């Protein structure tokens, strides 16, 4: 919703298809959100030439965008604080277990926080593994499609995949063993009786 309101506020004459592509959501969802915004009085629509529509934010739309922005920032700061706390605890236990060099499994906002915290905690992150990414580098580290493509050896794997966390944990455990898989507490969805690794 916030992304849609921001795009409308910029005043760019985009089609719903372009908005869907920009926001990374389905075309039908963009249509539904626009209708919802119009019904709530957040967005005004007018007919433009060539059977097109122009969308504008209403004063209520500006207020809602501001509210959503504050809500998003509050969530982001809370997420960052919790993630940093989890990583500091996790990396202290890892270092005590003799773990120094790690690979990061899953490119996400959490991977970025994890890489920064690893550096702060004296750990070395040598690569990011993510089969879905087309990037070649992330925060100065090489991005690999699989563990087989890594040239550096690692002591453990830090799971930061937020898309399919359990599958990522299972893949890492199968490859490196449970004691070499690090999972921050905010991501660890496993049964407490089945915890693996130093997490």
Collect all residues with Cβ–Cβ distance below 8 Å to 80 and sequence separation of at least 6: 113
Name the pTM for this structure: 0.65
Q: Examine the pLDDT at 170 and tell me if it is beyond 60.
A: yes
For 68-90, write each residue's pLDDT tens digit.
Answer: 888 877 777 888 889 999 999 99
Average pLDDT, integer, range 26-53? 82
- Looking at the predicted structure, is the pLDDT value of residue 197 above 60? no
CA distance 3 to 25: 11
Per this entry, what is the length of the chain? 199
pLDDT tops 50 at residue 60: yes
Give the three-class secondary structure for 63.
Answer: helix
Q: How far apart are CA 123 and CA 91, in angstroms?
A: 8
Quick one: average pLDDT of 118-129? Answer: 93
């Amino acid at each position: 919703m916030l992304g849609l309101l921001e795009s409308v506020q910029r005043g760019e004459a985009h089609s719903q298809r372009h908005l869907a592509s920009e926001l990374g959501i389905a075309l039908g969802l963009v249509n539904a959100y626009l209708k919802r915004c119009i019904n709530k009085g957040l967005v005004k629509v007018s007919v433009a030439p060539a059977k097109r529509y122009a969308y504008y934010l209403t004063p209520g739309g500006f207020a809602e965008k501001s509210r959503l922005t504050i809500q998003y920032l509050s969530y982001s700061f809370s997420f960052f604080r919790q993630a940093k706390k989890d990583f500091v605890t996790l990396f202290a236990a890892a270092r005590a277990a003799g773990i120094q060099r790690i690979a990061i499994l899953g490119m996400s906002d959490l991977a970025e926080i994890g890489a920064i915290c690893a550096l702060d905690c004296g750990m070395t992150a040598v690569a990011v593994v993510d089969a879905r990414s087309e990037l070649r580098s992330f925060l100065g580290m090489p991005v690999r499609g699989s563990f087989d493509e890594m040239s550096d050896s690692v002591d453990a794997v830090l799971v930061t995949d937020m898309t399919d966390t359990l599958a990522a944990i299972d893949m890492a455990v199968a490859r490196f063993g449970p004691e070499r898989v690090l999972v921050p507490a905010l991501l660890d969805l496993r049964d407490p009786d089945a915890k693996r690794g130093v997490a």
